[in-house]
Amino acid sequence: MITVYIDVLFLVNFMINILIVEGTGAIAFAHTKYHRSLLSAFVGAAYAVVMFFVNAAFLQSVVMKLGLSAIMVLIAFGFNNGAHFFKMWGSFFVVSFIFGGSLFALMNLTGLGSKLGMVYSNGEIYLNLPWRWVLFSASGTYFLIFVFGRIRKRRIAVRAARRTLTIYTKGQKLETTAIIDTGNALFDPITGAPVIVCEKSELNALLPQGEALMENMSKAGLKVRLIPFSSVGKATGLMPAFLPDMVEVDGHRAKTCIIGITENRLCKEDEYHALLNPAMLIK
């Protein structure tokens, strides 16, 4: 007969719940403060302890479990509006299924469950972990929280800086996604106009095809430029560029600017394809 320790049961569920809450924030671009994340995980772990020992039908009901998950989401992320809540609630379930399914599969397929004295009661799992394993798991949980936090902060920052960029030239129109990049301090040396750096692949609809890009753009009637730049790993260079007829940012006409063309991919996740010079947004 396996002895079930309440403190181990609570701590294991507490750590899992922290990862679920932090993972939810990471995939849904949602900010949560750590004390809210910890409180949400505490409520979930306390429920798991009660559920493990109390065989009560109402505690095991779908309504009760849905209500608990909703409470955990509200504690962690607050309530902005209905759409935001249901987005967070749905993300919470996705992450829960991933963590729960992965843990259950790992315990059963590898035989770790029997080795660790896994007990399943009223929908809750108990692992008879030695304290050194608990401490190791806590360290791993802290590391994953740090990783999730970095992912969440980065994605929130990218989303906050993201803008819809529309470029007009020669009767054609192109719309893409850009971000405000404080590291973009490029200006046209002739006119002093700020430069927007855009991926060449995004500009295919506006640019003539062929290897001699500058020559072909000039033949197509575009006002071409060469923009001096410097970057990490490359001391200096000249970026091909052109002067568009008009540029809009989020539907508002921007000041005169230059479109610099880069062969490089600006974002591996394809969250944006152009870098706005902050100066172009200053009135």
Query: 200 and 264 in one domain?
Result: yes
In the chain the first and final C-alpha atoms are separated, in Å, by 74
Domain boundary among 105, 129, 153: 129
> Could you tell me which residues are beta bridge partners of residue 124?
121
- Rounded to two decimals, the pTM is 0.51
What is the extent of the structural domain holding 270?
162-281
123 and 237 together in one domain: no
Beta bridge partners, 231, equal 234
Are 167 and 253 in a shared domain?
yes
How many structural domains comprise the chain?
2
CATH number for the domain including 176?
A: 2.40.70
Q: Is residue 40 part of a domain?
A: yes
Q: pLDDT tens track of the chain, all 283 residues? A: 556 667 777 887 888 888 888 888 877 777 778 788 889 989 988 888 887 777 767 777 788 888 888 999 999 988 888 888 888 888 888 888 777 666 665 555 555 555 555 555 555 565 665 666 656 665 666 676 667 667 766 666 666 678 889 999 988 899 999 988 888 889 998 888 999 999 998 888 888 887 788 888 888 888 988 988 876 555 578 889 999 999 998 888 888 899 999 888 888 878 889 999 888 776 5
In a shared domain, residues 122 and 10: yes
CA distance 152 to 209: 39
Contacts 24+ apart (CB under 8 A), 126-130: 126/4, 126/8, 126/9, 126/12, 126/52, 127/8, 127/12, 128/2, 128/3, 128/4, 128/5, 128/8, 129/8, 129/12
How big is the CA angle at 156 (ends 165 and 264), to the nearest 5 degrees?
50
